Structure 1
Amino acid sequence: MKQMIIYSGLCIALLIMCCNKKKGNDDTATSAVLKDSILTSKLSHPWEIVWGPDNFIWMTERGGKLSRVNPATGAVTTILTIAEVSAQGEGGLLGMALHPNFATTPQVFVAYDYMNGSTYIEKIVRYTYNGSTLTSPQIIIDNIKAASIHNGCRLLITPDQKLFITTGDSNDQTLPQNKSALNGKVLRLNLDGSIPADNPTPGSAVWSFGHRNPQGLVFANNILYSSEHGPSSDDEINIIEKGRNYGWPTVMGFCNTSAEQSFCNANNVREPLWAWTPTIAPSGLDYYDKDQIPQWKHSLLLAVLKDSRLLQLKLNAARTGIDSVFEFYVNKYGRMRDVCISPEGKVYVCTDNGDDDKIVEVKKK
């Protein structure tokens, strides 16, 4: 039986009250006491933070700067500033992913928006890290429409060495259902930019479509999870599946109106795991499978912008559904853009307030 979750303002208020009291899940017998502290500050619109194989935090800032952050000292070392980046509204230097065999193949993939004549465009570029800077840029894919809003854009490399890219609708609702367009999609490429033979449509980078503005992406439990911004309702957590339609702009959240149900039945629409109304503006997403914070184990951690908090989304035993939601650091640090996790289980969250942005460290006290 299809599960539908529709929140009224009262339900949200009750949930917030509940979570504020618990400040964690129900496993109180094994819960760790948490300590949060500022690792570094004076940043400018950080977008992506990734735990690197060198045990540093790799970071992009929307203005075009890539840096490495020392998690022991908070020292920030710039490794490249991309002059071509054009930061307009929500656009600029966005997603980043490091090659999974970084020691032997030190490649860094980044997404950024730039001006091609008078046209605002997004591209994915692969660099090589030489130990101090990034060199040898190679374009992986280009000519993705960009805008001041709804650009996506997260990058992820899965264990089979496929590059996934989320793209927003770039404020053009005609694009997500158009399979010939690159916008409003999750794209899948080989690491050299070629199109995998097992993509849904031969010769097409499109893996899934019907997306509005997906800004979070993580692969865990052999599942690809994503977070996505809705319009004035229905922010979503999705499981991304090959060739599936996610409904936008006809469907918002669940297929719970007669028009949506008709479209969903005719178009193989995949409903979300969870939807929020009113919206919360979900952004970066990661999966916690460490022992340091046992109450967060087997949870998605979601950075939230509009409601300025970190959410724990406790997954069910099959990891295919969300059993409960808990919130942390409500309005303490402001808008939260992305989250990453160290091998020992510390959690790092970057803010996106535009003024003295920070990376916050969360660990067991």
Structure 2
Amino acid sequence: MKTAMNGWMMGCIACMACSSTVGTWAQTTLEVEVLAEDMTVPWDLVWGPDNHVWCMEKTGRITRTNPDTKVLEEVHALSGVYQSWDNSGAHAMALHPDFPRTPFIYVHYAYGEWRSRLSRLRYSIPQRRVVDEEVLIPDFRGNSSHNGSRLMEGPDGHLYMAMGDAYSKMNAQNLESLSGKILRMDWDGNAIPDNPYGNLIYSWGHRNPQGLVFSDAGQLYASEHGPATDDEVNLIQKGANYGWPLIEGPCDSPMEEALCDSLDARDPLASWSPTQAPCGMDYFDHPSIPEWENSLLLTFLKKQHLRILHLDETGTEVTHEDSILYNEYGRLRDVLVAPNGRVFVSTSNQEINGWNYLAAEEDDRILELVNPDFFYDALEPVNDLNEVFLTQLLETPQAEGKVFPQPAREGVSMFLSETVEQVDVYVYDMSGRMVVGAEPHALHGPGLLYVRLGALQTGLYVLEVRAENGERWTSTVLVKRD
């Protein structure tokens, strides 16, 4: 695979200040600004529906940062995260596509020396905190490293997950094991019926993939650590075998060519020797940096840079590569492209596996790469997730009297007439006894009522809502306590 520097790349200028130039191209000069600091290995960056940068650190700490004001809020701290001397810890995070209306945060983390799990956290809008953890897949094989991983929503609406081989390399070729695979599931952790092998497996033969992204055209790419040679970026295809551990990198030796034929193994889109430790990855196609349009942005740990892999029109070949941030901020763990073309990169210098000598006083950090000459579309950050929740609900076709969610835990919402401003709320148990009575409630938004039910026990209830103008709504409500 071709790996040449483009002629219009002018080089990188040292950058340690809050905002300074890091790269100049034919049309673009980039500067770096610090978004957040004093973090511990910010492993996974996710863009939220609140237009905040969400982050999960290796410790299990989850934060959201306003990209304009740079105010950071801690959302949750996972308990029981196992951090080895090497790389195990909290590894991947995704928000439900309908978050926060569907209030789930998905996380993958090690909980012991040899095990990891996929869980979903329930975020309570009224309480503004995580109130519950449900384990979806309890017992992935784990190790001190090689746990992967990444979580990514696919264009088909399903959840994709990259898993390492957990130092049991032959499991990557074992279709009974989930190690060394790309997985595809629904948002409850169940296999999709048309998966190629009748289980969660979507592709196999992977060593330690730590980057996963879809292009705008719907193509899936994964970055993968090699052993001593042949780091890889692969174009992932349904049911395909990517060769590990029988094949490393492209099929470029007589023995590997024979194996590739017998395994029907796929060659990588790009590979590098000796290894440079590729990690998080995102797809870029935005006029904010025109020279990067239709490219993969890939962070590197060992070689400490951000690499731009320029794709051809089909997305099946890398035409050339460029790199910036070489040795400027240490190890780079992840990269995130916002919908308006803003680019964020996280460092990974507070490692406990011998690399923490790189750590600066401010590490670890989330950085932003900025084109000062580009006018970025405004994506106004919403500091209160309740505002996002209300916006999602009010954009939904409404049916008066509809109550959700069912079952309820902390409370329920009901759609009412938009002309109503205040109502009285009554709740009855199944014996007819009033358990909540004559409580006046102001609406949360036009036609939207929220009722707290935190004091009620598990059971079936009747909710009655009365408006001053004589309108009345009733509905059964199922309350469930875990």
What is the TM-score normalised by the length of structure 2? Answer: 0.69
Q: State the distance in 1 between where 2:25 and 2:371 align.
A: 15
Aligned partner of 1:215 in structure 2 is 210
- Structure 1 position 160, deviation (Å): 2.1
Aligned with 1:146 (options 142, 145, 170): 142
Aligned partner of 1:364 in structure 2 is 371
Change (3 A) 1:61 1:19: farther
Q: State the distance in 2 between where 1:196 and 1:40 align.
A: 38
- Structure 1 position 40, deviation (Å): 1.3
Q: State the distance in 1 between where 2:45 and 2:274 align.
A: 27
1:1-365 paired onto structure 2 within 5 Å: 4=1, 15=4, 21=10, 28=26, 31-88=27-84, 89-115=86-112, 120-131=114-125, 132-202=128-198, 204-220=199-215, 221-354=217-350, 355=359, 356-365=363-372
Q: In the alignment, is the contact (CA less than 8 A) between 1:51 and 1:58 conserved in 2?
A: yes
Q: State the distance in 2 between where 1:114 and 1:76 align.
A: 26
Change (3 A) 1:126 1:139: same
What is the TM-score normalised by the length of structure 1? Answer: 0.91
Between 1 and 2, higher relative CO (CA 8 Å, sep ≥ 6) is seen in: 1
Change (3 A) 1:240 1:92: same
Q: State the distance in 1 between where 2:284 and 2:277 align.
A: 21
Give SS of 2:258's match: helix
Change (3 A) 1:93 1:260: same
* Long gaps (5+) in structure 1: 8-14
User: Greater CA radius of gyration, 1 or 2?
Assistant: 2
Deviation string 1:8-54 (CA, Å, 9 cap, x unpaired) is xxxxxxx56968635699982xx222111111111111100111110
Change (3 A) 1:26 1:329: closer
| Counterpart AA for 2:92 | G
Q: In the alignment, is the contact (CA less than 8 A) between 1:315 and 1:322 conserved in 2?
A: yes
Q: State the distance in 2 between where 1:258 and 1:25 align.
A: 42
Q: In the alignment, is the contact (CA less than 8 A) between 1:293 and 1:363 conserved in 2?
A: no
- Structure 1 position 172, deviation (Å): 1.3
Q: State the distance in 2 between where 1:66 and 1:196 align.
A: 29
Q: State the distance in 2 between where 1:148 and 1:70 align.
A: 33
| Counterpart AA for 2:364 | D
| Counterpart AA for 2:89 | G
- Structure 1 position 328, deviation (Å): 0.7
Identity of aligned residues (%): 38
Give SS of 1:200's match: coil
Q: State the distance in 2 between where 1:127 and 1:142 align.
A: 14
| Counterpart AA for 1:21 | M
Q: State the distance in 2 between where 1:298 and 1:129 align.
A: 35
Deviation string 1:272-312 (CA, Å, 9 cap, x unpaired) is 11110121110000001222111111111001111111111
Change (3 A) 1:361 1:261: same
Q: State the distance in 2 between where 1:323 and 1:251 align.
A: 24
Q: State the distance in 2 between where 1:271 and 1:312 align.
A: 20
RMSD of equivalent CA atoms: 1.9
Number of aligned positions between the proteins: 348
Change (3 A) 1:134 1:326: same
Q: State the distance in 2 between where 1:173 and 1:120 align.
A: 15
- Structure 1 position 161, deviation (Å): 2.0
Q: In the alignment, is the contact (CA less than 8 A) between 2:140 and 2:179 conserved in 1?
A: yes
Deviates more, 1:160-169 or 1:212-221: 160-169
